[in-house]
Amino acid sequence: MRALSRHLPTTAFQARSVMMAATQTQTKREGNIADAFVSLSGGPTTPLPQRFLELKRTLVGGHEDRVVKSWNRLLAELKRENQTIAREGPRVVPSLDYQDFDTDLNRLGDEVKKRGVAVIRGVLPEEEARSFKSEIEEYVRQNPHTKAFPPDNPQVYELYWSAPQLRARAHSNLLRVQRAFMNLWHTSDPNSAISTSQPLAYADRLRIRQPGDATFALGPHIDGGSVERWELHGYGRGGVYDKIFQGTWEDYDPWDASTRVPAVIDNYNGLGACSMFRMFQGWLSMSTTNPFEGTLMVNPAVKLSTAYVLLRPFFRPIRDVGQTSSEGYLAAENWQFAGSEMTSDLQGATPGHGQELSAVLHPHLDLEHTMVHVPRIKPGDYVVWHCDTIHSVDKVHTGTADSSVLYIPVCPVTESNAKYVLRQKHAFLNGTPGPDFPGGQGESHHVNRPTESFLRSNSADEGLRAFGFERLVPAATDSDGARNVVSLANTILGY
């Protein structure tokens, strides 16, 4: 710990904060990625408590007529957009080249915001990214007790601190892309306590999915909580989705960061439930992967799909007229406001788990045709998607080579994110998973686990700041709110 000592806080209050963070690094039982989703864990689905029915009535009470009209407009717009997505397929996903990054982002920025997803090609040199996988495989070989899902045929590893993961998160190219994508967001309140001038690292898992695998068949879902999206003490604390519940979904802005700062996205301490504000989820590829080869699928209509998911629990079909994909079943006149027949159900939302979607529960999304693959991906390509984007993975990996990625999201500086990074920093030093993830010994006893000295020797200052190992520096263009939160984050981190 000698190398860390020069960074410890000097005040007694700050010292206590660091000690508390160290003892609170892990509060969750052991597990794996399956625990984050009911469909993977095989857990029971039970009706939500009565308080969720009362919540639903509160959200739309007094303006039900506006919500009904809004729903009808939404169904019409969804039908049009679904046809475009189904026709275009993977071509609808914006693709940028790192060599022309600024030009491409300026040209495609509006399309990225419409779609909620993008591929940035060549962020890391191909050979460097490809070498990451062989390093990780050697790390696993040296540590055969590494946990994974499924245990008998690993596809997703409970690894957070391997050398390639550290180097990738701290890579200057990746940080440059993350900064630029954070700035696609804006703040409606200039005093919002958020800074997008520098990313913070979030230590997530990695995937090495083998050909033929059908076990990691994670269907359409949204991360960042589930029932929290409706809860007044969840996303409601920031009024994130107020416009949707008020019956004016067209006025909802998915890119307003001001509403997200006070939102609480994990009220149930679920295994793998993310408590850090990730503007984008993302992964860095370590392999060449085509559609149907164990890759990512997205619904590239983030605003429309979000509005639909949130309004769906307030409506019910009048009659079953055959298949859920039939014109008669989907017709607006076949759907009515549930009113006195409303239940507590929030289709696919289970406390402590991710929000899951299906053709039966969310028929108007036409998921069979609007969940499109990202295009062909090569090692070093970085894929990002808005935190509300519906996404999934191929049910079966039909390729002949592995589909391998490092999960690396895009996280701004906020007070809650800084608190998380402090706890995560101690998890790194201890070799245990980050606070959001299943607990246990993690990599604490792994042979050749990287240490702080490795991180320092493989990171420039911006990378060390991302991990919380150097003082954050406000940008010259930062607003007062951004400057204030950077100062607060430094205090939290002990600087």
Domain count, the chain: 1
Lowest mean pLDDT among 31-35, 81-85, 450-454: 31-35
Please check the confidence at residue 150 and state whether its pLDDT lies above 80.
Answer: yes
Q: What is the mean pLDDT of residues 122-135?
A: 98
Q: Report whether 64 contacts 242 (CB < 8 A).
A: no
Query: What pLDDT score was predicted for residue 34?
Result: 44
Please check the confidence at residue 325 and state whether its pLDDT lies above 60.
Answer: yes
Task: Assess if residue 468 is contained within a domain.
Answer: no
State the chain's mean pLDDT as an integer.
91
Per-residue pLDDT band at 19 (split at 50, 70, 90): very low
Please check the confidence at residue 10 and state whether its pLDDT lies above 80.
Answer: no
In the chain, % of residues over pLDDT 90: 85
For 70, residues 6+ apart whose C-beta sits below 8 A from its C-beta are 244, 247, 248, 249, 311
Per-residue pLDDT band at 1 (split at 50, 70, 90): very low
Task: Assess if residue 22 is contained within a domain.
Answer: no
Please check the confidence at residue 35 and state whether its pLDDT lies above 70.
Answer: no
Query: What pLDDT score was predicted for residue 17?
Result: 38
Please check the confidence at residue 110 and state whether its pLDDT lies above 90.
Answer: yes
pLDDT tens for each residue of 439-485? 899 999 999 999 999 999 999 999 999 999 999 999 999 999 999 99
CA atoms within 13 A on the CB side of 64: 13
In the chain, % of residues over pLDDT 70: 90
pLDDT tens for each residue of 167-215? 999 999 999 999 999 999 999 998 999 999 999 999 999 999 999 999 8
- Residue 377's DSSP bridge partners are 289
Task: Assess if residue 159 is contained within a domain.
Answer: yes
Task: Assess if residue 351 is contained within a domain.
Answer: yes
**Strand locations in 305-381 (E):** 315-317, 335-337, 355-356, 372-373
Task: Assess if residue 479 is contained within a domain.
Answer: no
Per-residue pLDDT band at 27 (split at 50, 70, 90): low
Task: Assess if residue 116 is contained within a domain.
Answer: yes
Query: What pLDDT score was predicted for residue 165?
Result: 98
Please check the confidence at residue 6 and state whether its pLDDT lies above 80.
Answer: no
Would you give the distance in Å from CA 369 to the centre of its chain? 23
Burial string for 30-58 (b: 16+ CB within 10 Å, else e) reads bbbbbbbbbbbeeeeeeebeeebbebbee
Please check the confidence at residue 254 and state whether its pLDDT lies above 90.
Answer: yes
Q: What is the mean pLDDT of residues 276-286?
A: 97
Please check the confidence at residue 89 and state whether its pLDDT lies above 50.
Answer: yes
Q: What is the mean pLDDT of residues 130-151?
A: 96
Domain ranges, residue 392: 30-410
Task: Assess if residue 440 is contained within a domain.
Answer: no
Q: What gap in Å lies between CA 312 and CA 355, rounded to an integer?
A: 13
Look at the block and give the residue holding tokens 């402090």.
422
Per-residue pLDDT band at 2 (split at 50, 70, 90): very low
Which tokens in the block code for residue 132?
């990451």
Please check the confidence at residue 41 and state whether its pLDDT lies above 60.
Answer: no
Domain with 318 in it: what CATH number?
2.60.120.330
Closest CA to 406 of 181, 128, 74: 128
Please check the confidence at residue 116 and state whether its pLDDT lies above 50.
Answer: yes
Task: Assess if residue 52 is contained within a domain.
Answer: yes
Please check the confidence at residue 4 and state whether its pLDDT lies above 80.
Answer: no
Q: What is the mean pLDDT of residues 389-408?
A: 96
* Residue that wins the pLDDT comparison between 27 and 219: 219
